[in-house]
Amino acid sequence: MRFAAGLRMTLKLLLANEFGGGHGHYVQLQSLGRALKDAVPDVAVKIVMPPATRKWVPSNELFPLEQPDCLASQATMRVVPSSHAQHIALILLRHPEFLAARLRYWQQQFAEFKPDVVVGDYAPSLTMAARGRVASVALGSGYSLPP
């Protein structure tokens, strides 16, 4: 929350998921957003999710994260990622143009929405982009968090 000359300003939270099409990522972020809205009087929450979630996320709550073509090739990979490190190597680092585009996307989100805190659930490039710029929290399981 930013304070200027005694004025109270809105706390802005950017909640995001980048990978996976599971309902669980959205439910976790939505629950966090709702709990914070109930607990903090002046809070603005923006939830960014991948296209796979469009089938069950209310459109008024969703800011879609467009996925580049290289993710379509994930289905045809011979090696299925079995850890967070493998996922980053096979998806983000194997396609440097994808990582660069994703980092630019998050920087644009930071510039437009001006979040005070970002929370990522299985969102590795979000936490990379936030490093040193915006306070960040990473949520998830042992698979979706860095070691």
Rounded to an integer, the average pLDDT of 119-138 is 92
Q: In the 8-state DSSP scheme, what is residue 92? A: I
Hey, CA dihedral for 121, 127, 130, 131, is it positive or negative? positive
Query: Which residues, listed in sequence order, are joined to residue 44 by a DSSP beta bridge?
Result: 12
Nearest CA among 61, 67, 60, 90 for reference residue 20 = 67
Contacts of 125 (CB under 8 A, 6+ apart): 18, 92, 99, 102, 103, 106
Would the pLDDT of 100 be above 60?
yes
Per-residue pLDDT tens digits for 4-36 = 555 557 889 998 888 766 677 778 888 888 898
Q: What is the pTM of this model?
A: 0.78
**pLDDT band at residue 134 under the 50/70/90 scheme:** very high
